[in-house]
Amino acid sequence: MSPPALFKVSNPSEDYNKVSKLILEALRVIRSDDFSPYFNLFTDDAVWMMPSNFKDVGKEEAKTFYRFTKKFRFDQETAIEELQVVDDMAYVRVSFDGYLRAKNDGSAPPLRSVSRHVWILRKQLDGEWKITRDIWNNPKQPT
């Protein structure tokens, strides 16, 4: 999978390329039928700030939340709106717009799914990059 045009920068750093690859892997996993590797892309102390929730969610709680992916697949367009790498930190703004479709029931109607995320990444001691924060919301469609 080649990086989208957004990732084409003059003289990208090695870290920028590593972050780009991590983001593309996250998007690949999200679209796959096996969501479990998604959590390997996060630090053990990762935090999700979910919409309409005053309580942050840790990695184990996030795994519980995403159990629905065993029955549904994401069928969404993705827009990577920004990618910045500064020293040992990075952030990405990404939007998803589409549907959740039942994996085992072709007659089930799709569920609309729209979300916008800020993923904050941190370079690990071994030089690997991981996502440490997922801050997201579910915008309402304009009427």
The domain spanning residue 46 has which CATH number?
3.10.450.50
Question: pTM for the whole thing?
Answer: 0.86
- Report helix, strand and coil shares of the chain as percent, to nearest 5: 25, 45, 30
What is the residue range of 31's domain? 5-137
142 assigned to some structural domain: no
User: Burial level of 6, CB count in 10 A (0-12/13-18/19+)?
Assistant: middle
Contact 3, 16 (CB under 8 A): no
117 assigned to some structural domain: yes
pLDDT by position in tens, the chain (length 143):
344 445 555 567 899 999 999 999 999 999 988 899 999 999 999 999 988 888 999 999 999 999 999 999 999 999 999 999 999 999 999 999 999 999 999 899 999 999 999 999 999 999 999 999 999 998 886 65
User: How many domains does the chain contain in total?
Assistant: 1
Distance (Å, rounded) from C-alpha 69 to C-alpha 33? 8
pLDDT for the residue 12: 74
CB atoms within 10 A of CB 100: 18
